[in-house]
Amino acid sequence: SYELAQPLSVSVALGQTARITCGGNNIGTHNVHWFQQKPGQAPVVVIYRDRNRPSGIPERFSGSNSGNTATLTISRAQAGDEADYFCQVWDSNTVVFGGGTKLTVL
C-alpha cells in the first residue's frame, strides 16, 4: 500500500518560513492536499491539488509537488499557524494520509 512520510515536528521562528515535507514514491504524479488541524478541531484544507489555496487561506500558505516530495511552505509564520499539518493523496481508490507534522512557532 502507498505510504506518505512526514517529519514528526517542525519548528520555526516567528516571522520566518516553515517548510513541511511529505514524501512518497513518485508523489509528483498524485494530487496532494494539505490539512491544518488545531487542538479539538476538525481538519481544514489549506492547500488542495498541490498548490491551490482555498478562499480565506492566507497567501502565506503555498504548496509544491515534484518527484518524491511535496512541500507545504508557510511564510512569515504567525503564532496562529501553530497546529498539526497532514498531507493526503488518493491512491488505488483509497485515501492515504501522512502521519502528520506538529508545527511549533517559537
Partner 1 sequence: QVQLVQSGAEVKKPGASVKVSCQASGYTFTTYSISWVRQAPGQGLEWMGWISGYNGDTNYAQKLQGRVTMTTDTSTRTAYMELRSLRSDDTAVYYCARLNQLEIGYWGQGTLVTVSS
Residues that bind partner 1 (CB under 8 A): 31, 33, 35, 42-45, 48-49, 54, 86, 88, 90, 93-100
Instruction: Select 45 or 68, whichever has its Cβ closest to partner 1.
Output: 45
Least distance CB 7 / partner 1 (angstroms): 13
Q: Could you identify the residue written with the cell 503564532?
A: 79
Nearer to partner 1, 19 or 49 (CB): 49
Q: Which is nearer to partner 1, 19 or 90 (CB)?
A: 90
Burial 61-95 (b: 16+ CB within 10 A, else e): bbbebeeeebbbebeebeeebbbbbbbbbebeeee
